[in-house]
Structure 1
């Protein structure tokens, strides 16, 4: 009975865990999409794959590089100095433009029970086309030196969801669907640019109005209304135009 309950609980937790987490960071005005990490194993070596996609503002962006990490934890170094290649039926993806880092915890227990664990990481920026190729491939094999790790299609399914806007929106909660689907918030720089453009248009409308407000030419007011239909000065311009049209009849 206890085993049955544990299975049910684990299935429930798995069902409740999102394939992709969506986290917005207000201070940086940026969203991070984090697909569920997964592991691959071969010859008693295990690696964990962690992907993150960053978008400016509250938007589901495209044409952005994906931050992909390969993590190995053990008693000795494994990743350092090894070539990285990802092979799919659509071709090979070179992953050798990477940053290597490591940390050592002398209190942590290794798999064999001894104290001390060395955690290594390769951090790689992968282009969107290459990442999509890896995510959607029928078969993907990660070569680290002479070690070949099969990347399961189940593990890569979360990658596919992250790169598919419609599927990504479906797993979001209602508020996130509204923010990222119906009313996406552009990044801060774009907002500032839009405000600057609006200010420039407003200033141009004001200076143009001051030049023509005492004019007696119909064309001046028609031109003004054509160029600045949303300006506050559009109302007096319409009145003046109507007055001049009545006078010309």
Structure 2
């Protein structure tokens, strides 16, 4: 089966520093693939390379079997990649529905056309509401974003990604700063979304990672240290020494 998103030999250098070095991975629909590692391991840089935020110094990215290495962010998004970031990328003065509707409108984006389209159309409200319902935010569609809890803002960002109709979701630390109750809700949502999306999760909460991930890739110093199912990663002496600690 063709992977929904695949990277081969992906490398990104900043001067003499290789933030990501010769990383290969494949994401498939129905799989939650977590990428873990210490700060500075290259996890977010990897996500940026997959989404098109950064151009690689070497290697290739394929989306549904098609080489998209030279595609910009907007074209990869239209091709089916949804993304969330470490810091919520939300228009705080707009309502929950307005934020999600704008994301849904991006499905019709082409350079120089989207703003004109957004100005004259009511927007695909049904797609936005469907995304909000899936994220559990339907009752808050009229709430202004500034009134939401931190966990709800994380859910809103996921709903905005869903509203673009993605096949692949790249989620960068969606549980950062979230309390236990909201964290459980988010973890359940991530597992549910992985059933019909290829989902890459970057996360530091190891309890969540080991509970929801099907496959883990461990990165250290920009390279893949080890990859496998949670039980193998937890039992790895190399991973314990590099990241998890001997109490893992």
- Asked whether the two chains share a fold, i.e. TM above 0.5, the reply is no
- Higher Cα Rg, which structure: 1
Larger RCO, structure (CA 8 Å, separation 6 or more)? 2
Instruction: Give the alignment's TM-score, normalised by structure 2.
Output: 0.28
Instruction: Give the alignment's TM-score, normalised by structure 1.
Output: 0.28
